[in-house]
Structure 1
Amino acid sequence: MDGFKRRRELKKSHILQAALTLFMDFGVQKVSIKEIATKANVSQVTIYNYFESKNNLVHEVIKHYISETWWEFESLFDNDLPFPEKIKKLIFAKTETAQHINSNFYNVIMKEYSAGISYIEELYQKKAIPKMMELFEEGKREGYVDPDLSNESILMYFHIFKEAMQREDIYNKILPMTEDIMKILFYGIIGKGDHPN
């Protein structure tokens, strides 16, 4: 990558990060291109040159946010921590995000998710599901996941959860319950046991 392209990509990254910070704090509707330009230390014209419209910028910010979040989760999956610690960190990370994300920005993300945007669906199918299955295989080996559970039933469980999360009547209500939902997703309604099976 030559110097011009590198500077262009760096500037684009600054804009995405500035917009993400503002959207996380105030939501999409209440943040103007002018405010994003000020935070990114660029002109409004530069933003329009890179993204053409606020809608395109919002879409790119969501892709940027999901990529960042996925990178954090992937590094956790690949960590040498024992299975229960990985699950605790996953729940904590989701809970932390839920506490710091503006509900308007969350709803915009969920609308893209429920619309089946190809980027999100592709990441889910090609990266998230295989990593989750690896994690549950690890849990089986360590005695924390019932070894009699078939991979097909685990996949179906996640598919049901995903389908539900794409419904507006559900994702509009779920943000305050994120920690409970994540606990149910990973531990079931009985709750986690203190010892391996």
Structure 2
Amino acid sequence: MNGYTKNKLEKMAKIERVTLDLLNQFPIKTIAMTDIAQAAGVSKVTIFNYYDSKQMLIKKVIFDHFQMIYDQYDRIVSSDLSFEAAYRAITQFQLAAMQQNTACLNQNIMTLYATDPTFYDQAARDQSQQLMLALIGKGRTDGFINPRYSDDTILSLFQIYSEGMKIFGETPDKLLAMTDDLTAIFLNGLR
């Protein structure tokens, strides 16, 4: 239990659920620790005993949300699907996940991604890179990816795409509308 009592783990889970609920409803800048504490039925002191700052709490909540997405990506990449089918399945899953989120949560995620250089930490980048390398490996096995493109080149392309997404921080719906075209452009470019 990582040195945590059952009661502490239950409180932390409730604080994190409440924080996610608030992120689904309100812009980050309008959510105060007082709001989180009140909704969770705990004191601000209790929250600060578990989390160093509001930013750390919000990052944890969002990364836990992302972990479920990464787990699904891993299942898709590890499946018997071809590279192209796996890439499209990942893209469609990501689109569906974003559509299940409220517009406010998507906006909050994009705002953090665009404005906080520490938002996507090294561990998250490493996990994402490992998933991308596994997907690239599947593409190479299937003969889909042009062999003259190195893994580093393809990873750089993923990074450029990821960095480019920051421009949609204010309008994630615009990005969603372009998903099919961006997928086709990307897949055609790898051949």
Per the normalisation by structure 1, the TM-score is 0.71
Runs of at least 5 residues in structure 1 that lack an aligned partner in the other structure: none
Tell me if structure 2 keeps the 8 A contact 1:133–1:151.
Answer: yes
- Which of 163, 177, 181 pairs up with 2:175? 177
CA RMSD of aligned residues (A): 3.3
Residue deviations 1:89-128 (CA, integer Å, cap 9, x gap): 21122111222333333333233323221x6231343121
Runs of at least 5 residues in structure 2 that lack an aligned partner in the other structure: none
The 3 A distance-change label for structure 1 pair 3 and 177 is closer
The 3 A distance-change label for structure 1 pair 54 and 142 is same
Partners in 1 of 2:142 and 2:130 — Cα distance?
18
Tell me if structure 1 keeps the 8 A contact 2:106–2:172.
Answer: no
Identity %: 21
Tell me the equivalent position of 2:140: 140
How many residues align? The count is 187
Alignment of 1:33-182 (within 5 A): 40=40, 42-45=41-44, 46-47=46-47, 49-51=49-51, 54-114=54-114, 115-117=116-118, 120-166=120-166, 169-178=167-176, 180-181=178-179
Say whether residues 1:187 and 2:184 are aligned partners.
Answer: yes
Q: Secondary structure at the match of 2:146?
A: coil
Partners in 2 of 1:2 and 1:58 — Cα distance?
21
Partners in 2 of 1:136 and 1:3 — Cα distance?
39
1:53 offset after TM fit, Å? 5.8
Tell me if structure 2 keeps the 8 A contact 1:15–1:36.
Answer: yes
Corresponding letter in the other structure for 2:185 = G
Partners in 2 of 1:55 and 1:124 — Cα distance?
16
